[in-house]
Copies of this chain bind each other. A is one copy, B any other.
Amino acid sequence: MPELRRDPVVGRWVIIAEDRRFRPRDFDGQKNPPTTGPELCPFCPGHESFTPPEVHAQREPGGEANGPGWSTRVVPNKFPALQIEGELDRRGEGIYDRMNGIGAHEVIIESPDHTKELSELSAEAIEQVLLAFRERMRDLRNDLRFRYILVFKNHGAAAGASLEHGHAQLIATPIIPKVVQEELDGALQHYRMKERCVYCDMVEQELREGRRLVRDEGGFVAIAPFAPRFPFETWILPKQHHASFDEMEPRQMGALARLLKDTLGRLRRALDNPNYNFLLHTAPCRETHLEHYHWHLEIFPKLAHVAGFEWGTGFYINATSPEESAKFLREMES
């Protein structure tokens, strides 16, 4: 059973998951390209039995669960960081705090095609992936043990991917993660001062100034944030105020899919298919209609190593200004 432990000074929780070390890897250390191929891939069609039974799938009419014929498939992670069964069993030990590592850890397989990166799928296929995110979040939110649901993606070995076949992940946690709590606290402080959502203010200022805008389309914007940690860090936000991703209407996912495809495509061409991470920050499970919080997608191409200074301070040194990266991405052919 994985265990959650809290640092007694800063309150950062970590997951001690000793079984995770035995999970399979396509990548051998830091080397590219992958050392295994589709024949062993647990995410390829025909290999459905390599994964735990699916919890969601988009498939052709008449197709059977856990058989081929799907276009998007969601399965529990075979080597989960958190375990779905059990009680939290919170307990202290001197000055320390721990609880059982209860949560959900799922894999969203983006397409049957082993070789296609997310940005290479059709906008319609990406829409199905976004709908799968939404569907799983709405389902897991009903489990009262969970306080937060994070969807994220690691593309490429240097960004932490262990398997090559395009997939995103979802982790439901019994704690609101520290980074999200900081966003909630900061946004609430702004709201109390100004009676406005800080993200709405940001979108408004970026649309007016234009220098950090990558694209404005279909009710969503892609921007280079004012204080990016990494070169070419790019955020996507809805222009209207929405605290929760899973409270969006299904019909809005088509426009979001088109903007996501366009943005990832620009990054791919600008940076020669970079390793990257994205993460979807949304409101906590039980606070879906906050007036001060605004869901958004953060995309980080993995171009530089995070080193001692960043770990030690939380300061980031970035050699590319957001004005420059936004200009470069705007001028990329889409």
Q: Within 8 Å of chain B (Cβ to Cβ): is A58?
A: no
Chain B residues with Cβ under 8 A from A205's Cβ?
94-96
Q: In the complex, are the beta carbons of A308 and B154 less than 8 A apart? A: yes
* Chain A positions 299 through 325: 1 when the CB is less than 8 Å from some CB of chain B, otherwise 0: 010001111110111111111111010
Known interface pairs A313-B150, A315-B15; A8-B278 also in contact (CB < 8 Å): no
A317 to B4 alpha-carbon distance, docked (Å): 9
A266 to B12 alpha-carbon distance, docked (Å): 27
Stretch at the interface among A41-49, A113-121, A181-189, A215-223: A181-189
Would you list which residues of chain A between 218 and 269 have a CB under 8 Å from chain B?
A: 225-229
Known interface pairs A9-B198, A150-B309, A308-B154; A314-B95 also in contact (CB < 8 Å): no
Q: Within 8 Å of chain B (Cβ to Cβ): is A171?
A: yes
Question: Which residue of the partner chain, among B6, B9, B154, B322, contacts A307 with CB atoms under 8 Å?
Answer: B154
A178 to B227 alpha-carbon distance, docked (Å): 14
Q: In the complex, are the beta carbons of A180 and B14 less than 8 A apart? A: no
Chain B residues with Cβ under 8 A from A198's Cβ?
8-9, 95
Q: Within 8 Å of chain B (Cβ to Cβ): is A160?
A: yes
Chain B residues with Cβ under 8 A from A316's Cβ?
12, 14-15
Q: In the complex, are the beta carbons of B95 and A202 less than 8 A apart? A: yes
Stretch at the interface among A17-25, A59-67, A126-134, A135-143: A17-25
Q: In the complex, are the beta carbons of B11 and A152 less than 8 A apart? A: no
* Chain A positions 159 through 199: 1 when the CB is less than 8 Å from some CB of chain B, otherwise 0: 11100000001010101011110110011001000000011
Residue ID in chain B nearest A6 by CB atoms: B227
Q: In the complex, are the beta carbons of A311 and B317 less than 8 A apart? A: no
Q: Within 8 Å of chain B (Cβ to Cβ): is A331?
A: no
Q: In the complex, are the beta carbons of A21 and B182 less than 8 A apart? A: no
Known interface pairs A152-B308, A319-B17; A314-B177 also in contact (CB < 8 Å): yes
Chain B residues with Cβ under 8 A from A180's Cβ?
312-314
A229 to B9 alpha-carbon distance, docked (Å): 14
Known interface pairs A315-B178, A321-B18; A307-B227 also in contact (CB < 8 Å): no
Interface positions of A (Cβ within 8 A of B): 5-21, 30, 81, 94-96, 148, 150, 152-154, 157-161, 169, 171, 173, 175, 177-180, 182-183, 186-187, 190, 198-199, 201-202, 205, 209, 225-229, 277-281, 298, 300, 304-309, 311-322, 324
New contact pairs (20) apart from A9-B190, A19-B319, A182-B314, CB-CB < 8 Å: A5-B226, A7-B226, A9-B199, A10-B186, A12-B314, A15-B315, A18-B324, A30-B158, A81-B309, A81-B317, A96-B226, A152-B308, A153-B308, A160-B308, A178-B314, A178-B315, A179-B312, A277-B307, A279-B311, A298-B312
10 A-B pairs with least C-beta separation: A160-B307, A177-B313, A279-B312, A152-B308, A178-B314, A277-B308, A179-B314, A21-B319, A5-B227, A160-B305
